A and B are shown apart, each in its own frame.
Chain A
Amino acid sequence: MQRLLSLIPVLIFAAVSTALGLSLSNDPRKLPSMLIDKPTPIFALASLEEGGSGLSSDDLKGRIVLLNVFASWCAGCRIEHPMLMALAENSGIPIYGVSWKDERASGARWLKANRSPYVRVGDDQSGRLGIDLGVTGVPETFVIDRTGRIRYRHAGPITDDVWQETFAPLLAELRTERP
């Protein structure tokens, strides 16, 4: 018994160092979103593209949509762009874009040069919608359900793996929900 008791400090040390060691592999950029299961903030943005219609929270209502926050200056968004194009063509889920903290002209030029995967693109030059969404960087993508609630937030580019492992199952589940 005494023997076992004397092992306790060693065991505690082992447990604490294992826990700390494992937490080293956590990504500190992965922050929980406060908006999960909350209604999408109400907003109305001017259009990024010349002559385009703007983007407001009302546009997102009634359907499952993706809201993608991007910027022309963002490297991750360039990586993500082909994936978004493929999704826009094949997934059947409308993608809406928010150009975050970017010059309107640069954003519009970038979309023109690379083709736009978005149904509509709003211009959030001030970054205020970004703050309301709890955005900490770009790209970030929100999954919004039929009732207008945010169900998921992904920080970083959507890759094939991310789509297969997270988005696809979630969207399949959301489709089964009664509106």
Chain B
Amino acid sequence: MKEHWMAAISRIASVIGVVLMLSAPGFAVTPDEVLQDTRLEVRARELSRTLRCLVCQNQSIDDSDAPLAHDLRVLLRERLTAGDTDAQAVGFMVARYGNFILLKPPVQADTLVLWFGPALLLMVAAIGFGRYVGRSAAAFSAETAPLKSDEQERLDVLLRARRST
């Protein structure tokens, strides 16, 4: 009786497992968008992962189900099919929607703070921390400087007095 149960459970589990393995994750890219030319399609997928969906804003057009993202994916594939280089195709998008469409902002004058600000802050913090540590180390070694001879004498007197009591 117990074996039957076990068999049933393991069969159900394996069915669920197979279903999960066979089901592809939900892609925004629909089959009719996909190019015949695999190499172009791979380039299109890679580029569309770097382009922001202007409607959802934090998704790439590759991820987004928004109609505008669909249009941009199709347009991107058209550009690549027409012989655009990756840079030309991306430039086409930037000319219309600005750098905002790039999920990774380019390094230029007005993005220097964005790119290097965190590293700069970290450096400032490291320097500050180094100086702080250095100063307290100096303070510590000043405190443990050897006693002067008169100080040593007074200490000896005190210690002797204490021992004798």
Contact = CB atoms under 8 A, between A and B. Distances in A.
Contact of B71 (A9, A31, A32, A131): A131
Interface residues of B, number: 15
Given A131-B75, A136-B54, A136-B55, A34 B95 contact: yes
The main secondary structure of chain B at its interface with chain A is helix
Contact of A134 (B67, B75, B97): B97
B135 to A, nearest CB: 10
A91 B94 CA distance: 34
A16 to B, nearest CB: 9
Interface string A130-147: 111110110000000000
Contact of B57 (A28, A34, A101): A28
Contact of A126 (B55, B57, B71, B98): B71
Contact of B96 (A32, A101, A134, A137): A134
B72 interface: yes
Nearest to A29: B57
A71 to B, nearest CB: 11
7 contacts: A33-B98, A34-B96, A34-B98, A101-B71, A127-B71, A130-B71, A137-B55
Given A127-B71, A128-B71, A128-B75, 11 more contacts: A9-B128, A32-B98, A32-B100, A34-B95, A34-B98, A101-B71, A127-B67, A130-B71, A133-B96, A136-B68, A137-B55
Query: 5 tightest A-B contacts by CB?
Result: A136-B54, A134-B96, A34-B98, A127-B71, A134-B97
